[in-house]
Structure 1
Amino acid sequence: MIETFTVFEGARRLATGPLAEVALAVKRADGTHAPIMIFNDRTGRPVDLDLRETGAAVASRLHVEAPPAPEPATVEPRGRGRPRLGVVAREVTLLPRHWEWLNAQPGGASVALRKLVDEARRTSGDKDRAREARDAAYHFMSAMAGNFPHFEEASRALFADDLRRFAELIADWPADIRDHAIGLAYRDRSP
């Protein structure tokens, strides 16, 4: 799934799409007097971009830019685990009774923990997606509508999962901001 971004010029939505497309929309809008803000649609958080280059240079950089390469790791003797599967060793702090139960499970503590995490992800997937959608809407609203009428009440309705009340409270906000907040809040469900 391609990560999307949305750019606003003041209260007007300019574009939504991959970062390179949104950056080019900002370059085309250059010279306007309204503030420009770019948001990550998954998180609802603002994104800062360096757009001082030409439009072609910005687009080229954003299309091919990869995260910096990690520092070369020192060669250490190969230990236990399954590095080819992406297994990462980290510390977990549990009570002794938890360790006793985990160690008694077939495959040991690591296998039992992976199974527990996978099961929790399966059973709480819808709740997690709804929470992420609410959080994204709230982050966006805080940046764009924190001073708007009914912001506090709308935030409470959003976190109470009262999406009908939420939509009523923001009905008078500028259309693009209102529609984007609702779109983020409802993301995978209908109002």
Structure 2
Amino acid sequence: MQTEPTQTSCTAFVGRQLIAKGTLQHVVAIVKDTLEDREIAQLLIFDDFTGKPIDIDFRGKTAEVLQRLSNQAGHTPDEKESEQPTRRVGRPKLGVVSGEVTLLPRHWDWLKSQPGGASVTLRKLVDEARRSGKNESKVRTAQEASYHFMTAMAGDFPQHEEALRALYAGNQDRFYQLIDDWAPDIRDHIKTLAENAFIEEET
């Protein structure tokens, strides 16, 4: 289930200073109620999951800005898709969907010899692959979020490129060392985004 845009976790910065953190609706309300127009002009709001900036139309009063956000949330691209009836093939009670799998004869022979037969064995293999790839997916997501935020907010900081190399190499100590002298709010947010980038693979 997708998070609604207004409930997206995000962080707002003016220059190098963290201004607000929380849901998009919460952050937008704080920004409108506390910042002057000239400060809002320098504002950047980042999605905490992707590390990418979020564009907000701040024209008008706080209620008007929040209303526009609510309207956008009520007309997401996935809305039409969710209205379409789901077509199921196979055994509805189990949620099984049929599909074509092309294997060599020796593969079929091995699958058929396993307890439960080919279908059960294939499902087990897929579930095992999904579990083993979970950490890899977390690492990749954290790396990309950190990269996007670092590029936008720390692109001109010293040793920026070296820090990125350490990030993608999984060298946590080197990464933290390189960003240690950066602006505190930016550095700390990078550490939060990169938290899962250094997960060790399960053995």
TM category (shorter chain) comes to 0.7 to 0.9
State the shift of 1:86 in Å: 8.0
Structure with more helix by fraction: 2
Q: Does 1:70 align with 2:76?
A: no
Is the Cα–Cα contact under 8 Å of residues 6 and 17 in structure 1 kept in the other structure? yes
Q: Distance in 1 between matches of 2:94 and 2:103?
A: 29
Cα deviation code 1:10-36 (max 9, x no counterpart): 111111100101112332324234621
Cα deviation code 1:23-78 (max 9, x no counterpart): 123323242346211111011111112222421122244357222531775x9xx6
Partner of 2:89: 80
Partner of 1:41: 48
Aligned-pair Cα RMSD in Å: 3.7
- Quickly say closer, same or farther: Cα 1:41–1:95, change in 2 above 3 A: same
Q: Does 1:176 align with 2:173?
A: no
The amino acid of 2:195's aligned partner reads Y
Q: TM-score, normalised by structure 2?
A: 0.70
State the shift of 1:118 in Å: 2.8
What percentage of residue pairs aligned between the two structures are identical? 44
Q: What SS is found at the alignment partner of 1:70?
A: helix
Which consecutive residues of structure 1, in runs of 5 or more, have no partner in the other structure?
none
Which consecutive residues of structure 2, in runs of 5 or more, have no partner in the other structure?
none
Is the Cα–Cα contact under 8 Å of residues 88 and 95 in structure 2 kept in the other structure? no
Partner of 2:11: 6
Is the Cα–Cα contact under 8 Å of residues 32 and 58 in structure 2 kept in the other structure? yes
Q: Distance in 2 between matches of 1:137 and 1:17?
A: 18
Q: Does 1:158 align with 2:167?
A: yes
- Quickly say closer, same or farther: Cα 1:160–1:96, change in 2 above 3 A: same
State the shift of 1:108 in Å: 6.4
- Quickly say closer, same or farther: Cα 1:82–1:170, change in 2 above 3 A: farther
- Quickly say closer, same or farther: Cα 1:70–1:119, change in 2 above 3 A: same
Higher alpha-carbon deviation: 45-54 or 131-140: 45-54
The amino acid of 1:140's aligned partner reads F
Partner of 2:195: 186
State the shift of 1:135 in Å: 1.7
Cα deviation code 1:139-164 (max 9, x no counterpart): 11011111211000000111111111
Q: TM-score, normalised by structure 1?
A: 0.74
- The counterpart of 2:156, out of the listed 147, 160, 173, is 147
- Quickly say closer, same or farther: Cα 1:126–1:58, change in 2 above 3 A: same
- Quickly say closer, same or farther: Cα 1:16–1:79, change in 2 above 3 A: closer
Q: Does 1:21 align with 2:26?
A: yes
State the aligned residue count.
185
The amino acid of 1:25's aligned partner reads I
- Quickly say closer, same or farther: Cα 1:87–1:152, change in 2 above 3 A: farther
Higher alpha-carbon deviation: 9-18 or 60-69: 60-69
Is the Cα–Cα contact under 8 Å of residues 179 and 187 in structure 2 kept in the other structure? yes
- Quickly say closer, same or farther: Cα 1:6–1:82, change in 2 above 3 A: farther
